[in-house]
Amino acid sequence: MRTNRTKIGWAIAVAIAAGIVIPVLWGEPRSVSGQDGGDYWRNTIYDFQTLITGLAAVLAAAFTVGKMQQTIDVMERTDRESDRRHRELVGLTRRPDRLRLQRAVFPQLQDLQEISSRFVDFENIRETMRPDQGSPDLSWLRQVTERHRVDFEELDKILHRRQFLDGVNLFDGMTTRYLDELEAACKAAVGAIQDHQSYLLSDDYDEDMYYIARMDDEFPYVESAIIRTVRFLRDFIVYLGQYAEEAADL
């Protein structure tokens, strides 16, 4: 459908053509000998035919440029519409993955942050122990067990939630690496804490014999697993938090 601008352009072109062609074809020429007489409008056109031809060429060029601009405008509108449809299609294609990512991040991220906040005093446990509490290593493990056993067990449950595991394959390499490290350390820490708690509650518990028989060799691994769990949790929360904005934008 033609625009008003196109219609006006054609009307002007027709008027100019009529004003030039009709006098040239049917106007009375002036006499050659006296260079007088004849149709005034025809004579004017004849005298300025070079200028008129130049103006016509300029108008033709302007018309061509206008048509080219119209074509460019149409192409740009088509490209914008095509780009919009492409984005919609990509969005629909990615929507299932984004929903999985959303379920993996929420509410797990908040739960992990809450657990991490409860480890705020973790680094200072040894400083709060009294000298008369027996073996420093056993005392430290006892304090960790009493304060944070539930936190470690809850962390292990969060990492094994079905909705969380369903979105794990959408994480990038670094996030997945920290998750693997966190899971391995947490598993070892939970196992060590549960074993320690069970033995503390048994009738056979003897602190001196327990340390000599087991903790002298095992404690460095137990301590490492617990400390690594706390540190990898902090790192993993940072990487998981990067997905929060994308997951929330649905």
| Domain extent at residue 11 | 4-93
Residue 115 has pLDDT above 80, yes or no: yes
Rounded to whole angstroms, the Cα distance separating 183 from 158 reads 10
63 with 180, same domain: the answer is no
Q: Decide if 98 is inside a domain.
A: no
Pair 56, 8 in one domain: yes
Residue 121 covered by a domain: yes
Q: Are 182 and 236 in contact (CB under 8 A)?
A: yes
Instruction: Specify whether 115 is located in the same domain as 210.
Output: yes
Residue 163 pLDDT greater than 70, yes or no: yes
* 68 against 56, higher pLDDT: 68
User: What percent of the chain is predicted at pLDDT more than 90?
Assistant: 28
Of 67, 93, 119, which residue constitutes the final position of a domain? 93
Tell me which DSSP letter residue 123 carries: G
The answer to whether residue 140 scores a pLDDT higher than 80 is: yes
The answer, yes or no, to whether residue 192 has pLDDT greater than 90, is no
Question: Does 80 score more than 70 pLDDT?
Answer: yes
Comparing 88-97, 104-113, 136-145, 190-199, the range with the smallest average pLDDT is: 88-97
Q: What are the φ and ψ backbone dihedral angles of 171, each rounded to 5 degrees? A: -75, 155
Whole-Å CA distances, 225 to 57, 190, 191, 228:
86, 9, 10, 5
Q: Return mean pLDDT, the chain.
A: 78
Of residues 173 and 97, more confidence is placed in 173
- Side chain identity, residue 182: L
What would the two tokens of residue 212 be?
């000599």
Residues in the chain: 250
Same domain? For 83 and 21 the reply is yes
Q: Are residues 70 and 24 in the same domain?
A: yes
Q: pLDDT for 17-28, tens place per residue?
A: 666 666 655 656
- Sequence-distant (≥ 6) Cβ neighbours of residue 215 within 8 angstroms: 135, 137, 138, 141, 222
Domain boundary among 93, 122, 143: 93
pLDDT at 178: 93
Among candidates 247, 245, 228, which has minimal Cα distance to 236? 228
Instruction: State how many domains the chain has.
Output: 2
pLDDT of 92 above 50: no
Q: Say if residue 152 is in the same domain as residue 53.
A: no
Claim to verify: residue 124 and residue 231 sit in the same structural domain = yes
Question: Is 34 a residue whose pLDDT tops 60?
Answer: no
Within this chain, do residues 61 and 84 fall inside the same structural domain, yes or no?
yes
Q: Do the Cβ atoms of 95 and 227 come closer than 8 Å?
A: no
Instruction: Please choose, from the candidates 56, 13, 22, the residue with its C-alpha nearest in 3D space to the C-alpha of residue 42.
Output: 22
Give the best-scoring range by mean pLDDT among 66-70, 183-187, 209-213.
Answer: 183-187
Spell 29-47 as b/e; 16+ CB within 10 A means b: ebeeeeeeebbeebbebbe
Are 86 and 110 members of one domain?
no
Report d(CA 164, CA 157) in Å as an integer. 10
Q: What is the percent of the chain with per-residue pLDDT over 70, rounded to a whole number?
A: 63
> Could you tell me if 159 and 207 lie in one domain?
yes
Q: 131 or 8: which carries more pLDDT confidence?
A: 8
The yes-or-no verdict on residue 127 having pLDDT over 50 is yes
The residue-averaged pLDDT of 130-138 equals 69
Q: How many CB atoms lie within 10 A of CB 141?
A: 23
Evaluate if residue 47 carries a pLDDT over 80: no
Q: Are residues 240 and 150 in the same domain?
A: yes
